[in-house]
């Protein structure tokens, strides 16, 4: 089972997401963050679940609409590790409309 490593920027991404949710008075912010973390944890059992993008990277789509996020990651089987590189809202990533 691969381990999951988060790039330092992912912490900054989470801070930005929390700030955004707080400023828009979103309901149940802790539950929304838990949903993101639980989705990323799925990569331990299914590291190839995300859609391929480029240079061996993949995108994991998490939720949808205002609860939608995208995690950019790379699975390196030789190190038995999934490296999560970026976490964005689907709107930031250009996927959600309206």
**Residue-range domain boundaries for the chain:** 3-89
63-72 residues labelled b (16+ CB within 10 A) or e (exposed) = beeeebbbbb
State the fold for domain 3-89.
YaeB-like fold (3.30.2310)
Q: How far apart are CA 23 and CA 5, in angstroms?
A: 29
Q: What is the pLDDT of residues 14-72, one digit of tens each?
A: 999 999 999 989 889 999 999 999 999 999 999 999 999 999 999 999 987 667 899 99
In this predicted structure, what is the pLDDT of residue 65?
64
Q: What local confidence, expressed as pLDDT, does residue 91 receive? A: 72
Residue 98: the pLDDT is 43
Examine the pLDDT at 94 and tell me if it is beyond 70. Answer: no
Statement: residue 95 has pLDDT above 60: no
Q: What is the reported pLDDT for 46?
A: 96
CA dihedral (62, 15, 41, 89) in degrees, to 10, reads 10
78: confidence class by pLDDT, cuts 50, 70, 90: very high
């Amino acid at each position: 089972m691969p381990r999951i490593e988060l790039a330092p920027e992912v912490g900054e991404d989470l801070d930005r997401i929390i700030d955004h949710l707080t400023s828009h008075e979103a309901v149940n912010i802790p539950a929304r963050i838990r949903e993101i973390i639980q989705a990323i944890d799925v990569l331990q059992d299914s590291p190839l679940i995300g859609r391929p993008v480029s240079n061996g990277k993949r995108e994991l789509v998490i939720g949808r609409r205002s609860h939608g996020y995208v995690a950019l990651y790379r699975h390196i089987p030789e190190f038995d590790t999934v490296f999560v590189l970026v976490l964005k809202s689907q709107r930031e990533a250009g996927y959600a409309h309206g």
